[in-house]
């Protein structure tokens, strides 16, 4: 009773920076071709004759088959043929600091999730960069944090680009571990930084950071809020070590550790924020063609076990936050079917057992007694880097109610069930973007709210039930929600065509709705739905508001300056 009285309803914010990909070699005004394109093929993305110059600057001549636009100058805040310049990271952290200073929880320390891939991506987004660049990135990010968020709590995670050797982890300390421990101990804590370095995952009690009183936080019997930082590299089929005996044992230990934490939180009435780099589910774009093999971000057996755990403890899970795909997505993590890893296939190593015995291990009786599994929602945030996919660099703010007592009793995010009040419930998220073209043109950062999830999609709450209803509406002809989802998915990348075909749109929605490879494939291959290809939008169009169906054919997001947009300018 005493600890219960120490808890009061309040609002808290947790920020996410996904896929920073810091390019320490970036030089404003330098040739984009010389400094950024490296060995990329650029024919596929080169604009037609008369197309735009690079956002960083003007044209210049070309030769030897190199497009004219490739010789533009790199702008102060980056270009989508370059990774993040240090100034872009500085501006993002300064924006988080300024936003926190005016928020309702400004008396508390800012909380920031760094969900992997701090290191620049390398040639074509595939090859590793030098060892020196890998080791230098954590220190550079830590120095930026010291300049702009010295009082924050910041929680880093491994991404596939952050490791030495590249994209290889077996749960043991590697060459990058010491650099990460040294860089992030002041923000994440000594224990979390050491565990990140040694095995790649850790858990941190956020009760005090979220405003629960010291009396409550110090009580051994009181429910707690845990940040559970996942090492998704262990689950990735592109990690060659994940298929070794050591890799499979490490993944099994990791999932067992996760299950232990979720069971304890469920028993005590606590809550969890789960954060990782690669999300579970299909790489829907690569797998978009009908009847094509499904490539998955996780080894299906590990995704099966993860889905089993979070669906069994849905009321505990307040947030699942991921990155990696360089797109803005949601993923419904449904209770796995009895088929488990049926007919889906996987990315590299798809014929490997991949720990299937682990996936079929029965749940403990205490875990399943009296509770039906429920779907949850995983959120995939777009990147800070403008390279490769996203037009505008993005940061995301998740808004929570602490000890909220809503009409449904306050279940976990993604839980549609009525349940006892939980410590933490996700209320919404707001996505901020830096308007890259305008910021480069004026040499000043302009941040704008891109959208709020509940308002953009007409959600009653952030539960899986509400998101499934919204995805169902996206399948309807001339769906306004589909137009929004398409626009937000790539933070409005002008000229991208991948969403504007029936196959692409259907695969995107099936990827949101189904994490299991087999279920995704069946959804993708079903031609009986009413889905139609979304219309192409024109840059400068206005995204329709939640109630304006008459504008449903206009799907773009922001007008460019100077069209009267209210902007937050910094720098």
Of 218 and 445, more confident = 445
Most confident of 39-53, 146-160, 215-229: 146-160
Residues with Cβ < 8 Å from 3, sequence gap 6 or more? Answer: 215, 216, 219, 221, 222
SS3 509: helix
| Residue 49 pLDDT exceeds 50 | no
| Residue 380 pLDDT exceeds 90 | yes
Task: With beta carbons less than 8 A apart as the criterion, state whether 296 and 517 touch.
Answer: yes
Whole-prediction pTM value?
0.82
Band the pLDDT of 202: cuts 50, 70, 90.
very high
Band the pLDDT of 19: cuts 50, 70, 90.
very high
Band the pLDDT of 105: cuts 50, 70, 90.
confident
- The pLDDT value given to residue 167: 73
Mean pLDDT along residues 97-115: 90
Q: For residue 126, give Cα distances in angstroms to 40, 328, 382, 532.
A: 10, 21, 18, 33
CA distance 3 to 522: 49
Range of weakest confidence among 45-59, 320-334, 492-506: 45-59
Task: Output the six-digit token pair for 80.
Answer: 């989508």
Mean pLDDT along residues 193-198: 90
First to last CA, the chain: 49
The dihedral through the CA atoms of 509, 343, 248, 333 has a sign that is positive
Side-by-side strand order, sheet with 568-570: 153-156, 111-114, 10-17, 394-402, 424-434, 445-452, 568-570
Of 93 and 182, more confident = 93
Of 78 and 147, more confident = 147
CA distance 23 to 38: 13
Q: What is the pLDDT of residues 304-362, one digit of tens each?
A: 999 999 999 999 999 999 999 988 999 999 998 754 444 444 443 333 343 434 434 44
- The pLDDT value given to residue 564: 35
Task: With beta carbons less than 8 A apart as the criterion, state whether 470 and 459 touch.
Answer: yes
Closest CA relative to residue 271, chosen from 380, 425, 154, 502: 425
Average per-residue pLDDT for the chain: 76
SS3 434: strand
| Residue 137 pLDDT exceeds 80 | yes
- The pLDDT value given to residue 265: 94
Buried b (16+ CB within 10 A) or exposed e, 114-149: bbbbbbbbbeeeeebbeeebbbbbbebbbebbeebb
Mean pLDDT along residues 418-425: 68
| Residue 420 pLDDT exceeds 90 | no
Strand ranges (E), 348-423: 376-380, 394-402
Task: Output the six-digit token pair for 436.
Answer: 């890259």
Range of weakest confidence among 17-26, 126-135, 494-503, 507-516: 494-503
- The pLDDT value given to residue 338: 52
């Amino acid at each position: 009773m005493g600890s219960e009285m120490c808890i009061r309803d309040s609002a808290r914010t947790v920020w996410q920076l996904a896929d920073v990909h810091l390019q320490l070699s970036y030089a404003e005004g330098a040739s984009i071709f010389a400094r950024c394109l490296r060995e990329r093929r650029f024919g596929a993305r080169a604009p037609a004759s008369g197309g735009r110059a690079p956002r960083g600057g003007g044209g210049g001549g070309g030769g030897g088959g190199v497009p004219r636009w490739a010789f533009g100058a790199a702008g102060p805040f980056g270009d989508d043929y370059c990774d993040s310049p240090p100034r872009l990271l500085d501006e993002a952290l300064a924006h988080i600091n300024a936003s926190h200073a005016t928020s309702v929880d400004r008396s508390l320390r800012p909380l920031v999730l760094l969900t992997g891939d701090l290191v620049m991506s390398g040639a074509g987004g595939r090859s590793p960069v030098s060892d020196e660049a890998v080791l230098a990135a954590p220190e550079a990010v830590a120095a930026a944090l010291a300049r702009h968020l010295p009082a924050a709590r910041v929680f880093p995670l491994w991404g596939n680009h952050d490791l030495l050797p590249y994209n290889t982890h077996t749960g043991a300390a590697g060459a990058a571990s010491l650099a990460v421990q040294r860089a992030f101990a002041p923000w994440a804590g000594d224990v979390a930084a050491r565990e990140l370095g040694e095995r790649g995952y850790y858990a941190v009690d956020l009760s005090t950071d979220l405003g629960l009183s010291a009396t409550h936080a110090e009580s051994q019997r009181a429910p707690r809020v845990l940040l559970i930082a996942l090492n998704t590299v262990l689950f990735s089929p592109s990690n060659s070590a994940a298929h070794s005996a050591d890799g499979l044992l490490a993944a099994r230990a990791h999932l067992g550790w996760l299950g232990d934490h979720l069971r304890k939180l469920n028993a005590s009435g606590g809550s969890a924020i789960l954060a990782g780099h690669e999300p579970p589910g299909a790489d829907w774009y690569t797998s978009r063609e009908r009847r094509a093999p499904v490539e998955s971000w996780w080894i299906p057996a590990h995704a099966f076990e993860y889905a089993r755990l979070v669906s069994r403890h849905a009321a505990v899970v307040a947030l699942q936050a991921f990155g990696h795909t360089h797109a803005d997505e949601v993923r419904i993590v449904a209770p796995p079917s009895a088929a488990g890893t049926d007919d889906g296939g996987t990315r590299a190593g798809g014929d490997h057992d991949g720990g299937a015995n682990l996936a079929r291990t029965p749940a403990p009786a205490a875990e399943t007694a009296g509770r039906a599994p429920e779907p949850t929602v995983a959120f995939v945030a777009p990147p800070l880097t403008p390279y490769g996919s996203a037009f505008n660099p993005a940061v995301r703010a998740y808004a929570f109610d602490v000890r909220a007592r809503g009409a449904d009793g306050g279940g976990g995010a993604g839980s549609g069930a009525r349940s006892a009040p939980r410590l933490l419930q996700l209320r919404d998220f707001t996505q901020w973007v830096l308007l890259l073209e305008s910021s480069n043109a004026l040499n000043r950062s302009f941040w704008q709210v891109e959208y709020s999830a509940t308002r953009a999609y007409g959600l009653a709450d952030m539960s899986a039930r509400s998101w499934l209803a919204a995805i169902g509406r996206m399948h309807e002809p001339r769906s306004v929600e589909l137009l929004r989802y398409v626009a937000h998915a790539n933070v409005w990348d002008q000229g991208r065509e991948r969403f504007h075909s029936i196959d692409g749109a259907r695969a995107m929605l099936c990827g949101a709705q189904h994490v299991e490879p087999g279920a995704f494939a069946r959804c993708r291959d079903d031609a009986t739905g009413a889905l139609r290809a979304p219309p192409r939008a024109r840059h400068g169009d206005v995204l329709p508001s939640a109630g304006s169906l008459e504008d449903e054919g206009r799907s773009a997001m922001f007008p460019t300056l100077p069209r009267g947009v209210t902007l937050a300018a910094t720098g």
